[in-house]
Structure 1
Amino acid sequence: MAGTTHTDVNAAKAASGNAVTKKYTGPLITVTMLFFMWGFITCLNDILIPKLQQVFTLELWQAMLIQTAFFGAYFFISLLYFIMSITKGDPIRKIGYKNGIIVGLVIAAVGCALFYPAADLHSYGFFLGALFILASGITVLQIAANPYVTILGPPESAASRLNMTQALNSLGTTVAPIIGGYLIFGAVNAESAGADSVKLPYLGLAATLLAIAVLIKIAKLPSIQSEDDITPDAGALRYRHLVLGIVCIFAYVGGEVAIGSTLINFFRLPEIAGLDETQAGHFLAFYWGGAMVGRFFGAVALSSMKNSTFKYLIIAGIAAVVFVIISSVYSMDEALITLGLIALNFVVLMLGRFIPNRTLGLFAGTVVVLLLITSFATGSVAMWAVIAIGLFNSIMFPTIFTLAIKDLGVHTSQGSSLLVMAIVGGAIIPPLQGAIADATGNLQLSFLVPMVCYLYIMYYGFSGSKVKEPAA
């Protein structure tokens, strides 16, 4: 079972499948809160970029250093974790997933609190440092929580569970542009307030993260940790599908973050939509909302549920709810366009035959086509093409992650740390896209940069994810 230690196996054998499922329902609900919170925090970067670009009069590539600081932390903290695992033994397997989650929450809360002095000092460098600390905490959360979710239940539905928790992550990324856009851009006198408008939102996040840490501490979560000797080694790197998966996570996160970071500026272009920041923030929510809806679809489609008709009914129900919400909150035209994009997503999902690696390859291929439309079309066609990418991004991270840690056994936590380290793609690809946009003066053509990332994801889905015997 991917993500399972000997302790986990013994625990699973001690109970029936129904008992295990019942036992783990509560813990899964509790852990899901974490996915919502780090999704919310991560997507706030898309609001910070235009805000701090305005406050500090930055070029686009300089503003994109926000993502470099944030996702750079993923690389350095995960690298440190990996070095510790091969010299001292796997830290998470020693202290347990629950304690690892608490440590991550506290570090992230400290990073959020540092936004207050950063605004007082009016220092862009201080902001970048605070973001680095914040992301360091989220890195620890990712290393602990992602494999924890795969362990909490039957192995055959691991991809489904991770898609479901990632759907709540996407709920956070969906509401963040709306709430963050109002608090940071839309608040009264936000422009005159300069960087001060970020103080209260991030202090609120710090308090929330600490409250969740207390809740996790007192919650009755399975304290899964190793009872075996933990031998320091780099055994995870012997698995070809993991190594290629590390590159795939790099490509996926880099491509997704580059696109999301550029959307507000993209929607402001006169030849696309000519929106202001607040309006653009609402459409950014469509992009991240698409990822949420697609992950709910993926959770259903990739589940161990045998009745395909029932799966279709659940997916149709989700689509109907989305249609009603958008038609009531926005407009009927936008609801109909969204419903059409959902239908396209479902068709591609059907072509994938609910097989994780095949579905991943087809979704990545669809994104390549959508990025070509984004780069060369104009007006609403280009705008909705880039928004549609969110729907097809949906299953990618949890599916890549699940495929990459499959059959790693005792090396699962170490493999998880390497995959989280690869999230550094979000620090490298966005500034590269920004630099190309600045150099060419053409923001649209810069979307060809993330397109290369999705071409690699296609390869991993169709070929690179196949499990082979580890190298000696």
Structure 2
Amino acid sequence: MKASNNVYLVPFILVTSLFFLWGMVHNLDGILIPHLKKACQLNNRQSTLVDTAIFLAYFIMAIPAGLLLKKWGYKISIVTGLVIAAAGAALFVPAANQRAYEMFLGALFIIGCGIAILETAANPYTEALGAPETATIRMNLAASFNGLAAAVAPIVGSIFIFSGKNYTTERLQAMSDATRNDYLFTEAASVKLPYLVLSGALLLVALLFYLTRIPEIKPAEDLAVPKGNLFSVLRNKHVSWAVVAQFFYVGAQVCVTSFFIRMAEQGAGMDEKTAAWYLSVYGTLFMTGRFAGTFLLRFTTPQRLLFIYALASIVLCAIAILGDGAYVIYALGGLGFFMSIMFPTIFSLGIKGLNEDAKPASSWLIMAIVGGAVLPYLMGTMIDLNHDLIQPGYTIPLICYAVILFFAWRGYKVKTV
């Protein structure tokens, strides 16, 4: 930030806090899925509906969020998104009191709608808060707080959500009804404090945004309705392949984190609290990989680096499937590092060589995050079909990495219409 741009400093700090907050929301899901599976007595397929609720909200809100931003501007859009997400987080209290999984899913869907509005507004606003030539620096700095949340959220989950008590089905059935219900309601209640704090933090930031005089930079005219034809752009082969690759990338990332805890328990013999700390290491490696990838792009092309990272991910995923003991958890941690550059790299390759069609292509690439709603459900189904064995389920992200590998090998090549 230049001295002449000090007027942007406070707004930039506030916007950066949004990256951390929605990072906390997403990275608590890796804790929430195994915890609600236990507290609500779910199978694996049912537990992945946590992901479905969040990412389906993103998919549904993609266009409405852009329309809202165009009509109301950055400040009101951000405050609205924060209040909606805070309301969803607060609903965790009645959901936990009733141990009602459907209420948890409804709360998560509301949170997802709020976060979708936040991301739609915060990303372009961050770029607009200062000189265009320093926009990339601002985005990287803000995104680093998203990476920080990936390291912090599992620690919060380990301390405040996980009890460390895991009983087998046989042990639960042997308990009296009163003892079993007391245990399950106690497990469900542990999510109330973290999500109440999250709700309070979201409301506090909303209040700060509302009270602070921030520059109201006019959003671009094409934020909600992109120029170019939304469907004809897919005739460009590299765009359609990028959308496919992005769908599988988001699905792979969510699959890995959703079953990380249970994979560490089964494959590496860890308890849930220890596994949560390793999930924090995974988040740290993800952030490290992003910075390392940015540095390496000075010496190679994006498609070549993506190919190398995808190949490494295939190898590590195979180790996680076939290995046992510490090798499993090391492989999962390595996946965090090598997945780090995939989303932005696929995105940039997907819009390469386009002019007005870049906007509709971007819309497709954003909507491709619906992969995070679909593929974890398939993975959970596969695990259930394999009698609750987690390792075979990691075949799903393995296939995803193979698709990304093909995109980095041939699918990225620009063949515009």
Do they fold alike, i.e. is TM over 0.5? yes
SS of 2:365's equivalent in the other structure is helix
Which among 71, 84, 93 is matched to residue 107 of structure 1? 84
Tell me, yes or no, if the aligned pair for 2:27 and 2:154 is still in contact at 8 Å.
Answer: yes
Q: Which residue, out of 27, 31, 36, partners 2:20?
A: 36
Q: For the structure 1 residues 279 and 110, does the alpha-carbon distance in structure 2 shift closer, same or farther, using more than 3 Å as the test?
A: same
Amino acid at match of 1:136: C
Q: TM-score when scaled to structure 1?
A: 0.74
Check conservation: 2:96, 2:192, Cα contact below 8 A.
Answer: yes
* Distance change >3 Å, CA 168–CA 190, structure 1 → 2: farther
Q: Secondary structure at the match of 1:166?
A: helix
Q: In 2, Cα distance between the equivalents of 1:138 and 1:164?
A: 19
Deviates more, 1:27-36 or 1:235-244: 235-244
For residues 231 and 59 of structure 1, the distance between their equivalents in structure 2, rounded to whole angstroms, comes to 39
Distance 1:381 1:424, change over 3 A: same
1:261 matched to 2:258? The reply is yes
Instruction: After TM superposition, give the deviation of residue 156 of structure 1 in Å.
Output: 7.0
- TM-score, normalised via structure 2 length: 0.83
Give the alignment partner of residue 182 of structure 1, picking from 155, 159, 163: 159
Instruction: In structure 2, give the amino acid aligned to 1:397.
Output: F
Aligned residues: 396
Specify every segment of 5 or more residues in structure 1 that has no aligned partner in the other structure, as ranges.
Answer: 1-16, 302-348
Which amino acid is the alignment partner of residue 340 of structure 2? S
User: CA distance change for structure 1 residues 375 and 123 in 2, over 3 Å: closer, same or farther?
Assistant: same
CA 1:196–1:31: 2 relative to 1, 3 Å: same
Q: Which residue of 2 aligns with 1:277?
A: 272
Show structure 2 runs of 5+ residues with no match: 166-181
Per-residue Cα deviation, 1:255-297 (whole angstroms, up to 9, x for no partner) = 001011111111111xx32111111111111111111222233
In 1, the alpha carbon distance for the partners of 2:44 and 2:14 equals 38
**Contact persistence 2:70–2:224 (CA under 8 A):** no
Partner of 2:345: 399
User: Which of 239, 244, 256 is the equivalent residue of 1:247?
Assistant: 244
C-alpha distance 405-183 of structure 1, shift in aligned 2 (>3 A)? farther
* Bigger mean CA deviation after superposition, 135-144 or 356-365: 356-365
How far the C-alpha of 1:456 sits from its partner, in A, is 2.5
Deviates more, 1:286-295 or 1:17-26: 17-26
Q: One-letter code of the match for 2:261?
A: I
State the distance in 2 between where 1:249 and 1:141 align: 21
Matched, 1:76 2:60: yes
* Displacement of 1:449: 0.7
Instruction: Using the TM superposition, give the Cα deviation of residue 217 of structure 1 relative to its aligned residue in structure 2, in angstroms.
Output: 3.2
Residue 167 of structure 1: aligned partner: 144
Deviation at 1:203, TM superposition (A): 1.1
Provide the alpha-carbon RMSD of the alignment.
Answer: 3.3
1:71 maps to amino acid: F
User: What is the identity, as a one-letter code, of the residue corresponding to 2:152?
Assistant: V
Q: Does 1:205 align with 2:198?
A: yes
The correspondence for 1:371, drawn from 317, 326, 334, is: 317
Q: Which moved more, 1:356-365 or 1:435-444?
A: 356-365
Question: Does the C-alpha gap of structure 1 residues 443 and 231 become closer, same or farther in structure 2, counting only changes over 3 Å?
Answer: closer
Cα deviation, residue 120, structure 1: 1.9
Q: Distance in 2 between matches of 1:408 and 1:218?
A: 40
- Counterparts in 2 of 1:278 and 1:461: CA distance versus 1, 3 Å: same
Q: 1:216 aligned to 2:209?
A: yes
Residue 173 of structure 2 is matched in structure 1 by none
- From 282, 291, 294, the equivalent of 2:289 is 294
Report sequence identity in percent: 41
Which is worse superposed, 90-99 or 126-135? Answer: 90-99
1:124 to partner: Cα distance: 0.8
